[in-house]
Amino acid sequence: MGKIGKTYGILGWMKIFSFTENQEKIFDYKPWFILKEKKMEKIQPKAWKNYKNNFIFCVKNISDASEAKKLTNLNIFINRNILPKLPHDEYYWNDIISCNVFNTQKKYLGKVINLIRTQYNDIIVIEYLSKKKYKKIIIPFIDQKIIQNVNIKTKTIIVNWNENEQ
């Protein structure tokens, strides 16, 4: 759902990077969990506010920068069952991670490993094995023009893309 950034001030406030479509919505989904020392740990945001086109927040039971700094760069997770149900043809970005990607000629291009949000259009990052080395392809996520079909049940994506386009 998001990622904890660097500390802000001496009272334990931290920057936050929200991966939700409406970035402020991250504060509606609770509880939050972080993966700390290979264990999921629950954290409770106490307060948050807008700050320079981003957000800062503080966590219950953390009141100084040295404690807050231990959370820097940790990802924020939530229980999936608290997300709203989507209509039939819609999906969450997380649903397409690990999807197998094929072009319209049925050639396997690789597996989705990441998504990148940009100002103009989102991008899927695909990884594939070539000559015993992992390589990456980035493809703009432009619905109907490049992304032809996304099937979450079969974990497949069909794209109008040739290897030579990268």
Each residue's pLDDT tens digit, 77-103? 999 888 888 887 788 888 999 999 999
Distances (CA, A) of 32 to 1, 38, 41: 9, 16, 8
Task: Say which CATH superfamily domain 2-81 falls into.
Answer: RimM (2.40.30.60)
- Domain covering 93-165 assigned CATH 2.30.30.240 in the classification: yes
Identify the segments of the chain with pLDDT beneath 50. Answer: 166
Residue range(s) occupied by CATH 2.40.30.60 in the chain: 2-81
Q: What integer pLDDT is reported at residue 1 of this predicted model?
A: 85
Q: What integer pLDDT is reported at residue 19 of this predicted model?
A: 83
Q: What integer pLDDT is reported at residue 22 of this predicted model?
A: 83
Q: What integer pLDDT is reported at residue 57 of this predicted model?
A: 96
Strands 147-151 and 54-59 turn out to be unpaired
Residue range(s) occupied by CATH 2.30.30.240 in the chain: 93-165
Q: What integer pLDDT is reported at residue 164 of this predicted model?
A: 61
